[in-house]
Structure 1
């Protein structure tokens, strides 16, 4: 049994093996784009909202509200990034109930790519908010002696994000595989429900952690909540 979609070759293109991780990632992205286009195609003030538009607005408001509680400042620019991360991870994990579909988040390459995007986004948001000088200054706080430790801390964030998401998804797959060998007709329903629950929780945690890291890089130095030393 293959527990990671990296081992599943879907087709070969010009001598290159395209695995299930790549294919399923594009499927999730296509679904997100397609659903968004269908819901927002008549998004005009003169058109009354339907149930799909209302559902989308509720999701956006919930994401924005969670981000505003963390950032305590302008959350719209962070919402586009963190919200996209949440929706991608959540939809990937929700599609676990589809027979034969291996979520791309169960691949370490996908979780590492998501963590890398956070690592790149943190300095981009930090520099855009306070300039290069302000962002670089955070690495020598509270003293220049902390410079190497702060640099190591920046990279350890990405590693922890990738391993955290990958480990939780893979642990669920391993447990499901063990239980299916014991009672294949009873445990699938239970494991699917647990998989959906843990998948949503992991999407939420990943997006919130990304928001915390970005908000710490964009916070003012005298902010009482988002100081460098207050970060998890």
Structure 2
């Protein structure tokens, strides 16, 4: 496979379906995450937790704090989805460090799937929390004329999520490859550290944007109520004058 491919090559076929290297790598990551979660949670210790359990609890606590800062009323609702998304993207970004493998997130099809997952999750959580009618009403606020702009915003931010992660990871791996070709293996450690830091940063950005989008959908009803209450208070003040 060429290093600058947007879509990795086909590994095997299942009838008319083509299974690419990105799909296979993603399956392996998902399987390892599931196995790791089962191994960590099957023997939890409350009095003397081991190192792995302590690390897992630290990751959950950090994700919980980040969610509470953005959506304090929906921490338990969003914690499984956002934490899983973060962990998956971190591992997917770091897979490129393994010789012979490429990060699934350097494939536009993979990042598009993640962006679509966020897109549908925004509406799923919003409808689940507010009901279909109340949730859809915010697309007509403050006036029905805003409906086309709301739709364009939803589509554009989804495309931006996919392209941003894809472009950053692809450029990171390409730059690392070029440096290794030019400088050989004289500077592998700085390149390795750069890859790790950038992988963590890109995963954090994607996860935070997903969290903000989902929280925005959940809080749309609350924001409308606050605006309505503010308008009522202003009307009372004006009538009192």
State whether TM-score is above 0.5. Answer: yes
- Distance in structure 2 (CA, Å) of the matches to 1:223 and 1:209: 24
- Kindly state the Cα deviation for residue 12 of structure 1 after the two structures are TM-superposed: 4.5
- Kindly state the Cα deviation for residue 13 of structure 1 after the two structures are TM-superposed: 4.7
- Distance in structure 1 (CA, Å) of the matches to 2:9 and 2:187: 24
- Distance in structure 1 (CA, Å) of the matches to 2:16 and 2:213: 40
Which residue of the partner structure matches residue 165 of structure 1?
165
State the structure with more CA Rg. 2
- Render the CA deviation track for 1:133-187: whole Å, top value 9, x for unaligned: 2211111122111110011111111101001110110111221232222112124
Please tell me whether residue 90 in structure 1 is matched to residue 90 in structure 2: yes
- Kindly state the Cα deviation for residue 15 of structure 1 after the two structures are TM-superposed: 7.0
- Distance in structure 2 (CA, Å) of the matches to 1:4 and 1:65: 38
1:75 alignment partner, SS class: helix
- Distance in structure 1 (CA, Å) of the matches to 2:17 and 2:119: 29
Gaps of 5+ in 1: 225-232
Which residue of the partner structure matches residue 62 of structure 1?
62
1:74 alignment partner, SS class: helix
Please list, as runs of the form range in 1=range in 2, the aligned pairs for 1:16-55 lying within 5 A after superposition. 17-43=18-44, 48-55=48-55
- Render the CA deviation track for 1:74-114: whole Å, top value 9, x for unaligned: 21111111111100000111222211111111100000000
2:19 alignment partner, SS class: strand
- Distance in structure 1 (CA, Å) of the matches to 2:11 and 2:189: 27
Identify which range, 215-224 or 11-20, moves more after superposition: 11-20
- Distance in structure 1 (CA, Å) of the matches to 2:143 and 2:208: 28
Q: RMSD in angstroms over aligned alpha carbons?
A: 1.9
Which residue of the partner structure matches residue 202 of structure 1?
202
User: Hey, which of these two has a bigger chunk of helix by percent?
Assistant: 2
Q: TM-score, normalised by structure 1?
A: 0.89
- Kindly state the Cα deviation for residue 131 of structure 1 after the two structures are TM-superposed: 1.4
The answer on whether the counterparts of 1:6 and 1:20 sit within 8 Å (CA) in structure 2 is no
- Kindly state the Cα deviation for residue 17 of structure 1 after the two structures are TM-superposed: 4.3
Gaps of 5+ in 2: 228-241
Aligned structure 1 segments of 4 or more residues deviating by more than 6 angstroms: none
- Distance in structure 2 (CA, Å) of the matches to 1:64 and 1:208: 12
The answer on whether the counterparts of 2:161 and 2:206 sit within 8 Å (CA) in structure 1 is yes
The answer on whether the counterparts of 1:21 and 1:107 sit within 8 Å (CA) in structure 2 is yes
- Distance in structure 1 (CA, Å) of the matches to 2:90 and 2:116: 18
The answer on whether the counterparts of 1:112 and 1:159 sit within 8 Å (CA) in structure 2 is yes
Which residue of the partner structure matches residue 230 of structure 1?
none
- Distance in structure 2 (CA, Å) of the matches to 1:62 and 1:7: 34
Please list, as runs of the form range in 1=range in 2, the aligned pairs for 1:112-151 lying within 5 A after superposition. 112-151=112-151
- Distance in structure 1 (CA, Å) of the matches to 2:109 and 2:103: 12
Which residue of the partner structure matches residue 229 of structure 1?
none
